[in-house]
Structure formats: structure tokens, C-alpha cells
Amino acid sequence: MTTRRALVDRLASVVGPSNVVHRREDLLVYEFDGTIEQSLPDAVVFPGSTEEVAAVVRACNSLGVAVTPRGAGTGLSGGAVPAQRGVVVATGRMRRILEIDPLERLAVAEPGVPNIQLSEAAAEHGLFYAPDPSSQKACTIGGNVAENAGGPHCLALGVTTNHVLGLEIVTADGEVVTLGGRTCETSGYDLRGVFIGSEGTLGIATRIVVRLLPVPAAVVTLLGVFDSVERASATVSAIIAGGMVPAALEMIDRLCLQAAEAGLQCGYPADAGAVLLVELDGVDEVVGPQAALATAACLAHGAREVRTARDPAERELLWKGRKGAIGSLGRLAPNYYILDGVVPRSRLVEVMARVSEVAKEYGLLVANVFHAGDGNLHPLLLFDDREPGARARVLEAGAHIMRACVEAGGALSGEHGIGFEKRAFMPWLYGEADLENMERLRGVFGNGGRFNPCKLLPTGTGCGEMGHNQAAMRAAGPEAYV
């Protein structure tokens, strides 16, 4: 049996003693990500190169130690929580932008580069990187690849998988492999696509080639103000049915916008039932008429007013409220549990009503801020984790909400991933043969069970250490894996 001292010494021999964390007080910040699951690792290692990542993975495999990849730790499904303790491999030292090619409109980056820095570096060439999670100032490109991250501006342009051309990865057995390349099309099986969204169960991306896009010539940002979520939800389908796909179409309900306005003073009307943030971009000749159509759709479905951002500063303020809304909820409760379900746009009104019903049944406050254009819901259940039984109650409520999304014809995740949080629910969407084939795919990349264990798929042993979601599993019903 490997002792912790022997493990730390082995890791230090690869990356140097200063790049290994092992004291309990230092490990505490690595026992969780952005959700409510917790598990303390035995050590955290910070490799600085592809070669060091590969050597660390091989060392852990030889010692029989579990490996959990980690980016910035902003994930929202427990994907970076070390379910079987072991070693967390954090990519924070690998944060170089290796290349910006304005002619080919691509960039090459290491996994630890913060998302927003890609667009900042590309801006001098009139280019930007499209996927923009709300955590884009902190989240990293490597983590975005693992979770197939989205963001408010992914409605028209697509999520991470639509913007990654190629990857250098270290597989779960420590082999360095290249998937895809520098062009849009490659022959053969799309292993690049298989890896993106695999949530750290197949390997660790160490070099990422991404597509860059031209900065739009014109941008118009509208704020539709409604008296109810129902009216705002009905407007979403009307805008899309009008023949346009906005760059972004976001909804914020009363509770969320009141918190955001109190904390950020972004110009939201605090007495509104909901607001729609609609952004259109492109050339002036197209954006102007589309803005008029979107405004008309809002007014036809009960908007009491539609505001247009007068300048970039006002536009930035409106987006500040949207991207900072979740953090502002700390004014209302010490804890929140954020969900990530997807429903057809035509079922938005129905499912939003069910979300409210579930929250009421469990005595919880619920706030909503979400990507309305593609039906990607983010209900936030507010609670106090110090209250006995509160966490179990929240997880049970969350399971019922996720079930409602699936029964409406939707999916378990739009951008946060399955992680540990929702792996028990996978049988709602996939049959035994599907899940078995996904499990077999892990073996192709060398994962025998110790590489980000207890994530994504409803299989695995020794996953009881993170038992906080047992209440959610009970609520999930007999089809869930327990």
C-alpha cells in the first residue's frame, strides 16, 4: 500500500517539491468545485508541461492512485471533486497562449489559460473566441473542453465543441496523443469530438487549437421588461419563430434581477417580473431590421417596455447584471444549488411552472437566470447549509426538477456536465447498451476506473465517500443508479 509520503515524494520527483500540495490545511481549497459535493484529495500536483502531465499520470497509475483533473475549479457538477481522494492534477501553471494566427483565424493555448484572455489577445486582430461562460474571467480553456462549456453567446454560434479544432492530450494511461488538427475537417472518426465533454474521464488536454471569429461590425442589445416569467418565456419562441437567431437571448426573473440590481446597479427595473436580454450582431443592414422585429415580438407578448443600450458602456452594464446575477444571490441566502437542465423552447412556460411548484413543495426560494434561447434552464435553489436536513431537501427538489426537464423532452445538462451530481440520472436518457458502450470507450483511452472516478456514468465502486446526493438518488426513482 502506498503511503502519502511516498506518493508526495514520487510526485515531487516529477514536478519539483514546490509544485506539490499535501498539507491538510492547503488541500482544503481543492476538496470542492462550484457545487456542494466535497472530498479531500491526498495531494494536488501542478505540472508545467505535457511531459510532466504524462509523467504524473503514469506515476499515479503505477501506484494505483486515483487521478482527478482540475482546471480553475469553477465547474458546477462535481466534476473536479476527487471522489476517491488520490491526486488532483491541476493545470493552473500551464497558462500560455502559444499562438494567435489571424490569417487562419485560430489560436493555440495551454489548458490553464482563462477563457477571457483568448478574446483579449485576439482583439488586436479584430477577432474573438465565441464560447463565453458566465465565469469566463476565471474558468480555463482546459476546463471548458472537459465540460463542453457554453455561455450566453452560444445560441447562434455553438458551444465549445464547435470552436475547438484540435487537441494534444495525455490519455488516462499516460500516453500523449493528438486529436484533430488545425483545420475544420479531418478524416476518420471524430475522436476530438469524443474527448470534448468527456469531463476528465478520458484524459487531460495539454494543448488546444481553437477557432477565432471576426468581431461583429454592429451589435444591438435590447432589454425587454415583463410582468411575468410566463410572458417572457412565450416571447422567446416568438423571436426565434420570427426567422432570426439572436447572438444571445437570456432571461432573468424577479428574484435574480432584484439581487443583481441591489448589488451591481446595472439598470434593471426591480419591480419587473422578468427581463429578457436580447443581443443581435452582424452587419448594420441586418441588425437594424432584426432589432425592430425583436422589439415588436416583445411588445406583442406583453412587454411593458423595451430598452435599447445606447452605447457600449450601457451594453456592458446590462451584461454585468446578467453575468453577476448568480453571485448577487448571496444577499438573499448563504447557499445556492444551481441546476442545469435543457427543455424544448415550446415547453418553457410549462417547465418553469413546474420549477416553481417543486420549490414551493420543498419550502425553498428559487431564482432563475438562464439561456432562454436554447431552453437551457438554471434554477437556483436558495438555502442555508447550516440548517439540519437543508442539503438533502435541496437535492431532492433538484432531482424532481431534472426529471421534469427530461419528461418534457429535454436533457440533463446544457453546459455544466453530468459530473458526480447527475450520474445517477443517466438511465433516464440512455439504455443499458448505450451506457455500456460509453463505459467501454473509457477503456480505449486507458481508464481502468481510477481516472476521474465516479463521474459522468452511473457505474463505479468506492463512490460512497461523497454521499451528499443520496437524497437526490432516492427522489430519482428506481431507474436511477444507486
Residue 481 predicted with pLDDT over 50: no
**CA pseudo-torsion sign 307, 308, 314, 320:** positive
The alpha carbon of residue 167 and the mean position of all alpha carbons in its chain are separated, in whole angstroms, by: 19
CA-CA distance, 161 to 189, in Å (whole number)? Answer: 15
From 148-162, 366-380, 453-467, the region with the lowest mean pLDDT = 453-467
The domain limits of the chain are: 4-90, 97-214, 216-331
pLDDT digits (tens, 9 = 90+) for 215-255: 999 999 999 999 999 999 999 989 999 889 999 999 999 99
pLDDT digits (tens, 9 = 90+) for 2-56: 789 999 999 999 999 999 999 999 999 999 999 999 999 999 999 999 999 999 9
Q: What is the mean pLDDT of the chain?
A: 94
Average pLDDT over residues 255-268: 93
Residue with cell 432589432: 291
Conformational region of residue 336, where left means phi above 0, alpha means psi within -120 to 50, and beta covers everything else: beta
CA-CA distance, 330 to 448, in Å (whole number)? Answer: 41
Average pLDDT over residues 416-427: 96
| Count of C-beta atoms within a 10 Å radius of residue 52 | 22
For residue 28, give the C-alpha cell. Answer: 482544503
Q: Considering the entire predicted model, what is its pTM?
A: 0.93
Q: By the 8 A CB rule, do 95 and 113 touch?
A: yes
| pLDDT for position 283 | 94
Q: Which CATH architecture has domain 216-331?
A: 2-Layer Sandwich (3.30)
* Residues in contact with 292: Cβ distance below 8 Å, sequence separation at least 6, in sequence order: none
* CA angle at 230 for the pair 226 and 232, rounded to the nearest 5°: 40
Residue with cell 471548458: 144
**For residue 420, which of 19, 84, 113 has the smallest C-alpha distance?**
84
Q: What are phi and psi of 8, to 5 degrees?
A: -65, -45
- Give 482's pLDDT tier (boundaries 50, 70, 90): very low
| pLDDT for position 463 | 75
| pLDDT for position 479 | 53
- Taking domain 4-90, whether its CATH number is 3.30.43.10 is answered by yes
Q: Which CATH architecture has domain 97-214?
A: 2-Layer Sandwich (3.30)
The alpha carbon of residue 293 and the mean position of all alpha carbons in its chain are separated, in whole angstroms, by: 31
* Residues in contact with 33: Cβ distance below 8 Å, sequence separation at least 6, in sequence order: 70, 73, 74, 75, 76, 78, 79, 80, 81
| pLDDT for position 47 | 98
CA-CA distance, 298 to 264, in Å (whole number)? Answer: 25
pLDDT digits (tens, 9 = 90+) for 85-108: 999 999 999 999 999 999 999 999
315 three-class SS: helix
CA-CA distance, 45 to 60, in Å (whole number)? Answer: 11
Residues 199-231: b if buried by 16+ CB within 10 A, e if exposed: bbbbbbbbbbbbbbeeeeeeebbbbbbbebbbb
CA-CA distance, 65 to 69, in Å (whole number)? Answer: 13
| pLDDT for position 469 | 54
Average pLDDT over residues 393-404: 98
84 three-class SS: coil
